Structures are given as structure tokens and as C-alpha cells.
């Protein structure tokens, strides 16, 4: 899906760039990324087709964004090793509306040899709309000395 030109110019002005997608993310996105210190923020420009029957952003889209943002945070932190979601807990805090730019940020809580514990928040501006925490399974350590 091509990026909205207005969003592209505004996002680029504040340091956002389009993420490298895949077929699934291309259907719901595009996804935006921005480097922030040691980590990354992920964003999604919502549109009318992201809304549910009540006219607010569908919860499934919020969970999809959370799963991808937390998963990409894990992937970056563990040296881009393959990892999959084992558990994802979500808490809906507020609604988002079409036209909102939703930002996702996450932090690693703990890493063991085979799993990573993480939490994150999706927000629209200063307003949190979803909190999530989860566990990711590392599929291969390929001799990673950072694994505990």
C-alpha cells in the first residue's frame, strides 16, 4: 500500500521512515519506524478502513501493531535472531480514531537463554491506548555469547 504523501512528508520531518514491510504488514500498514536512543519506535497512520463498526480503530489492529512492535524490539535486541510470540497480553486503555497516528514503544524486561520478557505501550500523542506484555521464544542462539 503506498504511503500517504502528506503523512510521508510530516513523518520524515520528525525522523520517521517507512519500515521494510512484508505482505502482511503491507495489508495493515505501512509501518513507520524511528530510532530513539538505544531502541526504536514504531508507528501506524490509521485510516477509515482500520475502524470497526463503531467508527473507532479496531482492537485487532491495535493488537497486531503491539505484536509487531514488541516482536521487532525483541528481534533487534537479541541480534536479529529468529524469535516468535509465545504469549501476548493486551489491555485496552482508550480508543483511537481514524486519522490518528499510533506510536508503539517497548522495553525488554528480562532475557534468558531461550526467552525474552517484554512490555510496551501504544499511544496517540500523550494518550496511552493499549498496554501489552509478552514472552518471545528465541528459536536459535547460533552461539550468541549474550544469551544467559
pLDDT at 27: 85
CB half-sphere exposure, 148, CA atoms < 13 A: 5
**What does the DSSP assignment read for 24-58?**
HHHHH--EEEEEETTEEEEEEE--GGGB-TTSSB-
pLDDT in tens, 25-80: 888 888 999 999 888 999 999 999 999 999 999 999 999 999 999 999 999 999 99
Distance CA 96, CA 34 (A): 21
Does the pLDDT value for residue 21 go beyond 80? no
Q: Give me the percent of the chain exceeding a pLDDT of 70.
A: 85
Does the pLDDT value for residue 4 go beyond 90? no
Q: Which residues contact 103 (CB under 8 A, 6 or more apart)?
A: 41, 42, 43, 122, 123, 124
The mean pLDDT of 17-29, rounded to a whole number, is 82
Mean pLDDT of the chain: 88
pLDDT at 146: 52
Worst-scoring range by mean pLDDT, 20-24, 41-45, 116-120, 131-135?
20-24
**What is the reported pTM?**
0.86
Q: Which residues contact 9 (CB under 8 A, 6 or more apart)?
A: none
pLDDT at 92: 98
Does the pLDDT value for residue 15 go beyond 70? yes
Distance CA 10, CA 2 (A): 15
Amino acid at each position: 500500500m503506498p504511503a500517504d504523501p502528506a503523512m510521508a512528508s510530516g513523518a520524515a520531518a520528525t525522523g520517521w521512515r517507512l519500515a521494510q514491510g512484508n505482505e502482511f504488514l503491507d495489508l495493515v500498514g505501512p509501518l513507520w519506524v524511528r530510532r530513539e536512543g538505544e531502541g526504536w519506535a514504531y508507528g501506524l497512520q490509521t485510516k477509515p478502513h482500520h475502524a470497526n463498526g463503531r467508527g473507532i480503530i479496531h482492537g485487532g489492529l491495535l493488537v497486531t501493531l503491539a505484536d509487531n512492535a514488541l516482536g521487532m524490539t525483541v528481534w533487534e535486541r537479541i541480534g536479529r535472531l529468529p524469535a516468535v510470540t509465545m504469549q501476548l497480553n493486551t489491555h485496552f486503555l482508550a480508543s483511537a480514531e481514524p486519522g490518528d497516528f499510533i506510536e508503539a514503544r517497548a522495553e525488554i524486561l528480562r532475557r534468558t537463554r531461550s526467552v525474552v520478557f517484554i512490555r510496551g505501550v501504544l499511544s496517540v500523542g500523550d494518550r496511552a491506548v493499549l498496554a501489552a506484555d509478552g514472552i518471545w521464544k528465541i528459536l536459535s542462539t547460533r552461539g550468541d555469547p549474550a544469551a544467559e
